[in-house]
Structure 1
Amino acid sequence: MTTRKLTKDLAMEEDDKVKNEALQIIGLHQNLPRLVVFDLDHTFWPFYCQCCYEGDEPYLYPQARGIFFALKDSGMNVAIASRSPTPDIAKTFLDKLGIRSMFVALEIFSSQTHKTDHFQRIQRSTGVPFTSMLFFDDEDRNIQAVSKMGVTSILVGDGVNLGVLRHGLSEFSQMSGTRNH
């Protein structure tokens, strides 16, 4: 067995472990978002696209892939909202990772609006109300702006991980409970 295959097998095993743990976390919540939206740079992957070339090999934060597949398996839709000035590179990376087609919306464009334009487009294309969305981003200014729209928004410090997912789903459940009463 080659070292590369062994490394790939270990990565898949770790992805499955994370996915199973994420499914357990998701199972603890009755109120779930209809749509989970991720930023890309320093949220889904640990780099800025604009510092890369299309020929580079992208990689995700260690727990991102398992979480992504757990969300999909739980029936939640997933979207991207990124202010990257290099959308072609971002989309190429999503293709290389084999996940681009799994997103219901890809809003990747440079903007000064702190993602409010991105969310307007996502809402129009999906029909999902802002209050049924959960958003993960590494920039506080985006979190503040999108929160004002009614989206449960979670600041990510070091990439998407199980702790961030747990926090996000708890916040969403709490916000949903408040809105329903």
Structure 2
Amino acid sequence: MVASIFEGRMPQLIVFDLDYTLWPLWIDTHVTGPLRRDGDELNRIVDRYDEEIAMYQDVPSILRRLQRTPNVKLALASRTHAPGLARRALELLLIPPLENDVGEPIAAKKFFHYEEIYPGSKLKHFKSLHHTTKIPYEEMLFFDDEPRNREVESLGVTFTLVKNGLTLNVFESGINQWRKLHPINPQSSDS
């Protein structure tokens, strides 16, 4: 079931919020720089006071599987007031290879093709992503923990509310929701 959700029609751009979507904290209020890796641990760094920063359990495998999914780009859209800390955390957090895969850990930052990390409305983030990528809003899927950010639906973006962090089940639900809203046109598949 897990692998099958990554097969079939996918949005061209999948966008993630950071705080309480990919990791369980607000980077601008719960974290004090500098950040550092604690030994050889993957997907775990600490701040000045040894407070842990790590992505939710399913996030690394979701990112790794999306990396293998053709024609899908990934982006971040965060309204944090600490964009520098967010970017530093993404540089330091290492994503391990999938189970039974050979390969090196990769910095989380390298999974994302585009970043909109600054204070402001998610409408502004998505208008910028649309302008930069030229990807239609209908080909975008957004995962975020704040219901107010559902406002991006006014642009045509599919929004999935994340409660208690991004999980494989939430991801699958978002993909299924997007597919239901944007089914393949049967006439276009005949040509």
Q: TM-score, normalised by structure 1?
A: 0.81
Distance 1:133 1:72 in 2: 16
Match of 2:145 in 1: 138
Contact 2:10 2:175 in 1 (8 A): yes
CA contact (8 A) 2:63 2:111 kept: no
- Structure 1 segments, 4+ long, off by >4 Å, are 178-181
Structure 2 stretches lacking a partner, 5+ long: 36-44, 46-52, 94-106
Q: How does 1:32-181 map to 2 (within 5 A)?
A: 32-50=10-28, 51-56=30-35, 57=45, 58-75=53-70, 76-97=72-93, 98-111=107-120, 113=121, 115-143=122-150, 145-177=151-183
Q: For 1:120 and 1:88, how far apart are their aligned partners in 2?
A: 22
Which AA in structure 2 matches 1:41?
D
Residue correspondences, number: 156
Residues 62, 176 of structure 1: CA spacing in aligned structure 2 closer, same or farther, 3 A cutoff? same
Name the counterpart of 1:31: 9
Question: What are structure 1's unaligned runs of at least 5 residues?
Answer: 1-20
How far off its partner does 1:101 sit? 2.6
Cα 1:180/1:130, change in 2 over 3 Å: farther
Distance 1:72 1:123 in 2: 21
- Equivalent position SS for 1:160: coil
Give the helix-richer structure, 1 or 2: 1
Identity of aligned residues (%): 31
Q: CA RMSD in A?
A: 1.7
Structure with the bigger percentage of strand: 2
Shift of the alpha carbon at 1:178? 8.3
